[in-house]
Amino acid sequence: MDLALSPQDEAFRDEVRAFLAENLPARLREGMAASPGVFVEPDIGQEWQAILNKKGWLAYQWPKAVGGTGWTPVQRYIFEKECALAGAPTLTALSLKLLAPVVYTFGTAEQKARILPRILTGEDYWCQGFSEPDSGSDLASLKTRAVRDGDRYIVNGSKIWTTHAHHANKIFCLVRTDPNGPKQSGISFLLIDMKQPGVTVRPILTLAGDHEVNQVFLDNAVAPVSDRIGDEGDGWMIAKFLLENERGGSCHAPRLLADLEAI
């Protein structure tokens, strides 16, 4: 098998290198190097994402039909590795790589038009509400309850290990809309505004004193029915789709190889 880059891919690599050399500020490289956790701090990450968005390269993993680049897998790999070699900040995977594919795969036309552009502009910063204090490895046993009240849901429960919830203004959640029947069948996928009175974020500090994850409390929080992705009961199916992207997307081979080359 020939693993050498084609002339077209070599030209693409050179284009990416030239762009990074011209457009990646030293302060963003330094911010990435100083980041203690999995994700870079939002002020560093959002500035870099704005630069990529202006270039049209931010949604490099999205299909072209929904605003992505339409790059090949090899081009995506090249881009990730060159960004890592240059010391560029990591991107907000929760929004770009987890929620966005859910929206453009299962969302309505209205949801796609409303949600995806705000991910790209950074107007919405998302966190993930899956795990609960008593529902970690057995995620389908989750207890956060969403009760429909006309054109809205009233949500009560708690989520834990929620990365960057203290920065986020939105959270995508698995909630139980039907407490009867098999536990997987009563789960729905709901988007909730974090900046409302019914949402409280409590920090969870690491042994080193770093603050990256949190516990989120939902006390009569409100979410419109228009912010449910898919039908009621589709949450488990959507969660499996999302987790496939999460586990596949968490393979940081380009960045790890770049780290090895830098040693």
What SS3 class is residue 14? helix
Q: Are strands 152-160 and 211-224 parallel, antiparallel or unpaired?
A: antiparallel
Check whether 1 has a pLDDT greater than 70: no
Q: Where are the domains of the chain?
A: 7-91, 101-245
Q: In the CATH scheme, what is the code of domain 101-245?
A: 2.40.110.10
The answer to whether 230 and 189 have CB atoms below 8 angstroms apart is: yes
11: pLDDT confidence band, cut at 50, 70 and 90?
A: very high
Whether the full predicted model's pTM is greater than 0.75, yes or no, is yes
Task: Tell me the backbone φ, ψ of residue 72, rounded to 5 degrees.
Answer: -75, 165
Give the C-alpha separation, 194 to 172, whole Å. 10
pLDDT in tens, 71-110: 999 999 999 999 999 999 999 889 999 999 999 999 999 9
132 is catalytic: no
Higher pLDDT, 97 or 263: 97
pLDDT in tens, 166-191: 999 999 999 999 999 889 999 999 99
- 171, 164, 166: which is closest to 218 by C-alpha? 171
Give the C-alpha separation, 42 to 170, whole Å. 14
Looking at 22, 80, 82, 246, which residue is catalytic?
Answer: 246
Range of lowest pLDDT (114-123, 178-187, 213-222): 178-187
pLDDT in tens, 135-167: 878 999 999 999 999 999 999 999 999 999 999
Q: How many CB atoms are located within 10 Å of the residue 24 CB?
A: 19
